[in-house]
Structure 1
């Protein structure tokens, strides 16, 4: 999965920077003029909302080549502003809270091919908008998945890494956290992702971790976990070593996926796999220890039904420890 370009939106002059960045991403994806213009307008509205209503925030931008629509531009808006008490009203075209024409959220949703938002008064707003190269309904597939990583303070390279592989009704995910942070940690976590990416179809989570253990011996080592998900059977097979947390969570149940002690590339016992039931309405969440382990989605109305990227961003905003690299991956069955 590609990384996001983060742009802090603190004043109106930075809205143009975001718009130009989206234009570059659109060009790289071969957007036509109309689609490029639509993506630029979405970026402008998101950025303007951050400056005008949230009094600052961050816009995170990415070119997504893994969509069933010829690719698309993904725009994630995250703030810690005043939030919205009546989100439904704010999403209607023509609604205004400050004497403006009121085309902000309504226009963003109308011009986007996908849009999801959560907002809590006093805690801020998170929204994701996607514009596709081809404006048509997205094939639903069996999964919706997203991941997000942030660097440790003062670092420009993230020592965490993750990868997703989706094939029909089955999917696999790896999350790795190199020891420490900076380039050395990144080398270790990316080595684990390389093993995952090159593993043959049918390789089990335990086999992938065992091969990663051999490959990471020349690095400083990493905590790592691999999960295989089967939508048809409703199961998750999981194996992990070190402090990668996994949970299957819904509005009625919350079950942890257990990693064993050890460090991939340094010292691990024989890798053990466990199989878990995956209810149709439940999310699978994996995250590194840069995110505090005690969190709940239940105290934010509507969050459980939000886009996986919105949920990942919410977890990072609310529960990042703030002193280490942090990664969250969220997967739901369609």
Structure 2
């Protein structure tokens, strides 16, 4: 299994008229340029972006296209809309269209993608396309955006994965904007420290002194033991989703970099092909995957898209990460 290092914000474009198709294409071009993506791969990503954005403009309500280049070899695109839903099997057939076009959009997207998945219901649809290389091993997804009007986010996350398992550190700096971003800047260095989650948060507290503080969680999944160690301070929402039930992992009251408690580390069992979902309070925690038939077995990136669609409060930075255990 190759080493995975991921984190950071997604670029996104709200598709509310035809001109936003071009705007979405430009956001994808910028993401590829920032990550040093080769021209040929960038060209594929741009085709996928135009097809997804055009589909949102012609067929959906309140659609948005998200893009993130995790590396120079991998570009992820996610389209999210609020209805009316679609017949996925028909939409993949070349020539099928509900708006009298050539009807090659989603079929072309799937052919150009190294990984592809989708989910639809009456509330809308989420389509995920990964262009380039699919990292071996860990299957995960994310969505992270700053509140409207801010260029940086107080939410930050860092994922590290290797043969032994994975580590996720997520923090939500109090408030939003540059000072909140500064308060949560420890996530990358802390995720790189190979130690227990409780000790990671203690170190995060040391690094955060003098900032406005944050809520934070650290999780370490050890694959061979099928065990998840975690510690959480503040109001991040952590859920272990099993076949029969979901378990919410409680956090402790306090603030990293402020009124910091004596951290209590806990351990829970994870099952093969289960899900671990962690998000900040930019998303409501009042959700259950039981409300979405079949969603639990979809790609974690699709799970993130659906939760973002239905639970985003739109008044704060918002971040969600889902990992297949």
Calculate the TM-score normalised by the size of structure 2: 0.91
2:218–2:230: 8 Å Cα contact kept in structure 1? Answer: yes
List alignment gaps of at least 5 residues for structure 2: 1-6
Give the superposition deviation at 1:306: 1.9
Which of the residues 225, 239, 242 maps onto 2:231? 239
Task: Name the CA distance, whole Å, in 1 between partners of 2:96 and 2:299.
Answer: 23
CA 1:39–1:139: 2 relative to 1, 3 Å: closer
Q: How many residues align?
A: 318
Find the counterpart in structure 1 of residue 16 from structure 2.
Answer: 10
244-253 or 165-174, larger mean C-alpha shift: 244-253
Find the counterpart in structure 2 of residue 116 from structure 1.
Answer: 117
SS of equivalent residue, structure 1 residue 268: coil
SS of equivalent residue, structure 2 residue 240: strand
Give the superposition deviation at 1:139: 5.5
Give the superposition deviation at 1:288: 1.2
Find the counterpart in structure 1 of residue 156 from structure 2.
Answer: 161
Task: Name the CA distance, whole Å, in 2 between partners of 1:261 and 1:24.
Answer: 40
Residues 63-90 of structure 1 deviation map (CA, whole Å, 9 limit, x = unaligned): 121xxxx622211111113111x22222
List alignment gaps of at least 5 residues for structure 1: none
1:236–1:276: 8 Å Cα contact kept in structure 2? Answer: yes
149-158 or 293-302, larger mean C-alpha shift: 149-158
Find the counterpart in structure 2 of residue 181 from structure 1.
Answer: 176
Find the counterpart in structure 2 of residue 126 from structure 1.
Answer: 126
SS of equivalent residue, structure 2 residue 139: strand
Task: Name the CA distance, whole Å, in 2 between partners of 1:246 and 1:41.
Answer: 36
Find the counterpart in structure 2 of residue 45 from structure 1.
Answer: 51
1:29–1:63: 8 Å Cα contact kept in structure 2? Answer: no
- After TM superposition, the structure 1 = structure 2 runs for residues 64-75 of structure 1, keeping only pairs within 5 Å, are 64-65=70-71, 71-75=73-77
Which of the residues 54, 58, 63 maps onto 1:57? 63
Calculate the TM-score normalised by the size of structure 1: 0.89
Task: Name the CA distance, whole Å, in 2 between partners of 1:194 and 1:106.
Answer: 38
SS of equivalent residue, structure 1 residue 284: strand
The Cα RMSD (Å) is 1.9
SS of equivalent residue, structure 1 residue 58: strand
SS of equivalent residue, structure 1 residue 262: coil
1:147–1:162: 8 Å Cα contact kept in structure 2? Answer: no
Task: Name the CA distance, whole Å, in 2 between partners of 1:293 and 1:38.
Answer: 36
Find the counterpart in structure 2 of residue 31 from structure 1.
Answer: 38
SS of equivalent residue, structure 1 residue 130: strand
1:251–1:298: 8 Å Cα contact kept in structure 2? Answer: no
1:94–1:106: 8 Å Cα contact kept in structure 2? Answer: no
CA 1:321–1:88: 2 relative to 1, 3 Å: same
SS of equivalent residue, structure 1 residue 218: coil
